[in-house]
Amino acid sequence: MKINLYNQKGEKVGKTDLPDEIFNVEINSDLLHQVIVSQMANKRQSSAHTKDRGDVSGGGKKPWRQKGTGRARHGSRRSPIWVGGGVTFGPKSERNYKKTIPQKMKRKALFMALSSKVNDDELILIDDLGMKEPQARIAQSILEKLPLSDKSGLVVLSEPDKNIVLSFRNIPKTESIQAKDLTALNILSFKKLIMTPDSVVKIKETFLKDNSSKA
C-alpha cells in the first residue's frame, strides 16, 4: 500500500509504502469496540467517594431513650436516615475499573485503528519533523500547511524528541506520542494522524517483533 509523502511546506514529495499487515487489515468493529472500552476503563480514576455510617462523626450517644418519648426509636445519629448520617451503597474511591485485555487483541485493535485512518484518508505522512529548537510557531506553521482542515491531530514520533514535544505541546487539539506507546484509543481520539517514515518503521519493529520471533 502506498501513501503520499509530504514535506514541512505541505508539498507532496513522493509516495511511501506502508506494510499491509499493519495498515491494511480487515476491521472487526466488535473487537475494536471491546478494546476501546477496556482501554477507557483502564484510564478511569475513581474520585467519587461517600462516607458510610462508620465514617461520619457523632453517634456516640443514643439520641433519646428507647421508650416513652412518643418518637421513633433511634440508636445513632450516624444512621443513613438522619441528615448528616452515613450514605448507604454510595460510591467508593477504592473501586477498581481496570479490565484485562489480551496482548493479541490490543495489537489487532491497534492495527485496525491504523487501517481505519488510512481508509478514511486521515493519515498524513511527513518526511521530517525535526526542529533545532522548540518553537510552537514553527510547529503551527507546519500543521497549517498540511491537509488537516483545522482538525485535531496526533503527532507520532519514532524516538523521544524534546524539541518536537515542546513545540506541539501548546497547540490546541494537538498532542505528540512515541510510536511504541500507541494504542487504538490514542489513535481514534484524534481526527488526523501525523507520522514520519521512521515512525512507521518503529511501529513495525515494536508490534510485529513477537510475530516475527515465532515464525
The three grid cell numbers given for residue 150, joined into one nine-digit string: 483545522
CB 197 within 8 A of CB 16: yes
The domains of the chain are located at 2-44+98-214, 47-96
pLDDT of residue 212: 47
pLDDT of residue 22: 93
pLDDT of residue 211: 55
pLDDT of residue 214: 45
CA-wise closest residue to 143 among 161, 131, 133, 129: 129
pLDDT of residue 151: 77
Per-residue pLDDT tens listing for the chain (215 residues) = 788 898 888 888 888 889 999 999 999 999 999 999 999 999 988 889 999 999 999 888 899 999 999 999 999 999 999 999 999 999 988 888 889 999 999 999 999 999 999 999 899 999 988 888 888 888 888 888 888 877 789 999 999 889 989 988 988 989 999 999 999 999 999 999 999 999 999 999 999 875 544 43
How far is residue 3 CA from its own chain's centroid? 26
**pTM reported for the whole predicted model:** 0.80
Fold of 2-44+98-214: Ribosomal Protein L4; Chain: A; (3.40.1370)
Query: HEC states along 173-193?
Result: CEEEEEHHHCCHHHHHCCCEE
